[in-house]
Amino acid sequence: MGQANELFVSLLPLIVLFAVFYFFLIRPQRVQAKRHKEMLAALKKGDKVVSSGGLICEIIKVEGIFFSVRLSDESNAKLSKDFVAYKLDDGTQAQ
């Protein structure tokens, strides 16, 4: 019985360390990834997004894994959904 107790006491710091890593690193990243995935699924024509490269684009068509976007008045391009950083809200001002 004493040996099992010693084993538990020696593993307790590892268990606490794993719990700290889970609640401060792993879980918040999962929550953020879930919110980003939901945001991507909710994007529609007319929404303005910022790409990972910093380009501000307006979505003109939602395709499979791409968005057809308008970069300026006359230029259109395709943007992979993986490279959408965030959506510009109506209250967000692009400087």
- pLDDT by residue for the chain (95 residues), tens digit each? 678 888 888 999 999 999 999 999 999 999 999 999 999 999 999 999 999 999 999 999 999 999 999 998 789 999 999 999 999 986 665 55
Secondary structure E strands in the chain? 48-51, 56-62, 66-70, 76-80, 84-88
| Nearest of 66, 57, 63 to residue 86 by alpha carbon | 57
Distances from the Cα of 85 to the Cαs of 12, 21, 50, 55, in angstroms?
A: 40, 25, 6, 10
Query: pTM for the full model?
Result: 0.74
**Angstrom distance (rounded) from CA 94 to CA 30:** 28
Strand partners, 51: 84
